[in-house]
Amino acid sequence: MEETKDLEKLEKNIKIYKRYKMFAYDFIFYYSIFVIYFTTVKNFTMSQIMYFNGFYTLFVFLWQIFANLITERIGLKKSIILGNILVSLQSLVYIFANDFIIFVFAECMGALGFTLKSLSEGTLLYASLKHTGERKEFTKTEGKANSRYYYYDAITAFLSGTLFMVNNYLPIILCFVNTLISLIISLRFSNVSEKITKKYKIRDTINDFKLVIKKQRVKAIILFACVFAGIVSVSTTLYKSIILEMGVSIELNSIIICICTIFVGIGAKQLFMIESKTKNRTLTFFSFIYITTLLSIGLISNACELNLPVTIVIIFLLIIIGFIQGAYRVAIKKYVLNFTTSKVRTKITSVYYMAENIGSTVMLFIIGIVLNYTTSAVACILFSAVSAVILFIVLFYMKDKLGLKPQDYSPDEINNVNIS
């Protein structure tokens, strides 16, 4: 009888998760208007906004080291609840605070919240499916849950501009309401006890990095991920600033970002088509198209005044940016996983996420300094040129290093990660 009740609770977890993820995956009503909100309502500069984003990725990197310890101590459900509380408080700070230091503290708090959530949500779903005998349904269930978020995000991105015009604070207030909904739904989860075979230690992270450094091909792909993640993080904020600097209306700005969001999803689904054409040069193709497109946006916005043809061209270029971002996110995860065995997959994936945050942090802080002296359009041109050089060097380094098959790892190489 008790076993049946436990099974029902786990099945309930799976149903709740699909609704929960739609609200909890990321901030809603926020990303399409955050640049204009912080610059016009909170009177921050674009340089400071880049610093916010840089501090956030830095804190995510640091919390990734300690979040495992917290989750082991309090369990999956409480970790998810705590994460949602912290994210709710972060969005509340966005409404009431005006001081830069307080916003940095909010980024620290939110980074811990999102790290706890990302670490625990998927694990809770996987554990619930495993105990109900449906482990193979994980990818399908997670995919459905995430797709609901993307539809919801596209709709709210479309509405955010109009809501901002009604009241500058309305999109952020709705963002806060959305985080409260996530928190309320998370309270309905039933905890799942996962057997921990080995307790996490901070030294494990050091050993994970040691493993990656020893593997030339894995090191090459993670180095690329580190650089490209930084480029994506900077460019995503830069192009939103450029659009506003050109004089695009807030309503049209929201529509453009909504379209870009849709094409991120389309790009993710069309990776197989791109790979069938580019073969083993997919990352080189992504790099060339992305940097060329980003440079074009900077040059056009710096040289041309806003009119209908220019607006159409900018929208077209941003669609390419969104499409490449979507395809790249799927591709890089696929390549990282393909170059590993099951014994080292978790370790290397952990390093991959940390490397992305390191790359994003460094580039966001650097471009933040640059924006103290120039416009977003000029910064975009300079950033694109420097990024092109860096990517060329990284791609040249990667040459002849990719293609590692999982079975190429020897037992000694795998065991080296456990050497203290």
Structural domain boundaries in the chain: 1-192, 201-402+412-420
Residue 237 exposed, middle or buried by CB count within 10 Å (0-12, 13-18, 19+): buried
Residue whose pair of structure tokens reads 């610093």 in the numeric block? 51
Residue 295 has a pLDDT of: 95
Query: CA 180, 186, 187: angle at the middle one, nearest 5?
Result: 95
Q: Which residue numbers in the chain have pLDDT < 50?
A: 1, 196-197, 403-420
In this prediction, residue 69 carries a pLDDT of 79
Residue 30: both structure tokens together:
């926020």
> How many helices, marked H, and strands, marked E, lie in the chain?
16, 0
How far apart are alpha carbons 135 and 289 in whole angstroms? 38
Top CATH class, 201-402+412-420:
mainly alpha
The whole-angstrom separation of Cα 194 and Cα 119 is 13
Cα separation, 254 vs 419, whole angstroms? 52
pLDDT value of position 201 = 63
pTM above 0.95, yes or no: no
Residue 405 pLDDT: 44
C-alpha pair distances (Å), 372 with each of 50, 269, 272, 341: 11, 38, 41, 46
Please report the pLDDT score of residue 412 as a whole number.
Answer: 45
| pLDDT for the residue 292 | 95
The candidate with the shortest Cα–Cα distance to 21, out of 97, 109, 122, 167, is 122
Please tell me if the domain spanning 1-192 has the same topology as the one spanning 201-402+412-420: yes
The answer to whether 46 touches 245, Cβ cutoff 8 Å, is: no
**The predicted structure's pLDDT at residue 109:** 93
pLDDT given at position 104: 94
CA distances from 232 to 56, 104, 129, 291, 328 (A): 15, 21, 34, 10, 10
Buried b (16+ CB within 10 A) or exposed e, 300-339: bbbeeeeeeeebeebbebbbbbbbbbbbbbbbbeebbeeb
Q: At what angle do helices 100-131 and 138-166 cross, to 10 degrees?
A: 150
User: Rounded CA gap, 182 and 19, in Å?
Assistant: 9
Say how far apart CA 309 and CA 90 lie, in whole Å. 40
How far is residue 255 from each of residues 25, 147, 240, 242, 258, measured CA to CA in Å?
21, 19, 12, 15, 5
What is the predicted pLDDT for the residue at 354?
Answer: 85
CATH 1.20.1250.20, domain 1-192, yes or no: yes
Q: Let me know: does 245 contact 375? Beta carbons within 8 Å.
A: yes
Separation between Cα atoms, residue 416 and residue 295, nearest integer Å: 43
End-to-end CA distance of the chain: 47
